[in-house]
A = this chain, B = another copy of it.
Amino acid sequence: MNSSLKGIIPPIVTPLINEEELDESGLARLIEYLISGGVHGIFLLGTTGEATSLSYSLRREFVEKACAFINKRVPVMVGVTDTSAAGLLEMAHVSKSAGADALVISSPYYLPISQNEFVDFLKNISPKLPLPFLLYNMPSCTKMHMSVETVRQAKELGAIGIKDSSGDLAYFYTLLDEFKNETDFAVICGTELFLPESVNFGGSGGITGGANIFPRLFVDMYKASLDGDLNKVARLRDIVIQIEKKIYNISADSSRYIESIKCALSVLGICSGYVAQPFSGFEEAQKQQMQVNIKELAEMYPELNEEISMLNSIT
């Protein structure tokens, strides 16, 4: 698994018809779209995947179906972060049985937890995990920013990498430097705009929400970064900045990333835009705005237009 931890690994949305029912055909379509876009792996049940909003039975069903659809074509990682060790281990075994390749673990997130308490927690659960695991640093949701020392100790306990979504640049560079000579540990970027630097300075790739909508764009940005093609990187990053403006900024909700990605996917006919409680999908006016904005983006950038056209060949 470990050498496969690289490239663009979209944290996919969980397509839903309602609170209790998967949009199964939407899920199949999304997976085909991503794989045909060249993604290097798929991450299930992350923050963008609304993991914490779903019942355990729905999470289980989703992991099983997604793994079946993916069918070993790319590696699969499953987010099993939980406030309860029992819940985490249950989902870890579901993931193993479904054929996933790795787990992604953040700190328990209800009560504030210290660095030491988190390391002790990892000491307790890591021997019981049926699959390799990566860390997930996500302080805006978990209230805990993993120190480099904590990451180092987690590696000693078996962690094979970390996805950093802290948005803290100095921290990310420190991680890259700390593990630069350790090829058995992947440092993966969770901030879309920072993907090129991540790659240039030894990072393994990106788990970027926008790759749900435009997988090839991010794959191309990853490759251009690997190739040191600065001009191409600059052009593609411009597009990513426009996506930020045109797609993510339609709503000002704290949950707008999830809502806008799901809305964009529904506008593109890929899957349902339904968002699980406690949040909700876009309203009609916002959907229409999304339609207008995606059309504009496609007119401005031939790359996006082409990517969207690929959808025609996916049924």
Contact = CB atoms under 8 A, between A and B. Distances in A.
Interface stretch (A52-60, A96-104, A262-270, A295-303): A52-60
How many A residues are at the interface, by size bracket? Answer: 35 or more
A112 B174 contact: no
A140 interface: yes
Contacts of A58: 86
Given A191-B170, A230-B230, A141 B111 contact: yes
A254 interface: yes
- Of A55, A83, A120, most buried by chain B (CB within 10 Å of CB) is A83
The complex is assembled from copies of this chain, and their number is 4
A18 B278 CA distance: 32
Interface in A185-219: 191, 193-194, 196-197, 200-201
Interface string A250-277: 0001110010000000000000000011
Contacts of A254: 111-114, 117
24 contacts: A52-B108, A53-B83, A55-B90, A56-B56, A84-B276, A108-B278, A110-B141, A111-B258, A111-B279, A112-B141, A112-B254, A113-B278, A114-B253, A121-B277, A125-B277, A143-B143, A167-B169, A170-B191, A173-B237, A174-B241, A177-B245, A200-B234, A201-B237, A228-B230
